[in-house]
Amino acid sequence: MAGLDVPLAGRAAPRTLPGSMQVRFCDEFEHGFGWIAEELLVRTSHALVVDGRVWLLDPVDGEGVEERVRSAGEPAGVIQLLDRHGRDSAALARRLGVPHHVVPRHRLDAAPFEFLRVRNWRVWREVALWWPEARVLASADALVTVSAYRAPGERLSLHPLVRPFPPWRALEGIEPLHVLCGHGEGVHGGEATPALEHALANARRGLPRAWLNAGRALAKSR
């Protein structure tokens, strides 16, 4: 179990899913929105709106996604926060006529985002997106809210394989109002910063229960 999305050798090849795939919109807030593909992996994608321009994060294609994105503003780019989160990033970038940025390290032109390195392993390269002015933190796999990967009492959790080596340095001092996850709905408002702090502080202590929950979830999926 190298992650919530199935890893491939090297970078995951982009896939094109039919536009009729059913999704549920979520994480509606003043700076954007998200949508969830209701399936085993509970894959969540997001759109951030900055000065009338829309940036997509690890997007999965689905019913109404392109229409919703275009209605929110001018498409600006697709950002892939995790090397193996190919999802439909490349296909949507081509269709929208925008750049596809894979695990960026530096600020993008005309975008206010910072990128925090949470993993730089050969088999796992991931950055978190931090938008300081809006206090938005977005993660691909490192932070999740799906129940199968949380220990009891956690609202937000580190991925089970991130728990042994938490990204304390990357996320130290971050005080988000919105935490967006690549798997599960986000955490918003006054709950966001305490949830992040608890996830980091409880990472190793909650490891056995989190792995147990993950094992049970995988067993049920078979």
Per domain, the residue ranges of the chain are: 23-221
Helices (H) and strands (E) counted in the chain, each on its own, are 5, 13
The predicted pLDDT at position 2 comes to 36
pLDDT for the residue numbered 121: 83
Q: Which residues of 113-133 are buried (b: 16+ CB within 10 A; e: fewer)?
A: bebbebbeeeebbbbbbbbee
Residue 168 burial (10 A CB sphere; 0-12, 13-18, 19+): exposed
**Which residues contact residue 109 at a Cβ distance below 8 angstroms, ignoring those fewer than 6 apart?**
none
For residues 210 and 150, the answer to whether their CB atoms sit within 8 Å is: yes
Domain 23-221: CATH superfamily is: Ribonuclease Z/Hydroxyacylglutathione hydrolase-like (3.60.15.10)
pLDDT score of 38: 79
Count the neighbouring beta carbons within 10 Å of the beta carbon of residue 95: 15
Q: Could you tell me whether strands 178-180 and 187-188 are parallel, antiparallel, or unpaired per DSSP bridges? A: antiparallel
Q: Is 90 exposed, middle or buried (0-12, 13-18, 19+ CB in 10 A)?
A: middle
To 5 degrees, how large is the angle CA 208–CA 86–CA 119?
45
Stretches in the chain below the pLDDT threshold 70: 1-20, 206-222
Structure-block tokens of residue 196: 């992040």
Q: What is the pLDDT of residue 114?
A: 97
Any residues with CB less than 8 A from the CB of 154 and at least 6 apart, and which? 195, 198, 199, 202, 206
pLDDT for 10: 34
pLDDT at residue 16, as a whole number: 42
* Per-residue pLDDT at 187: 98
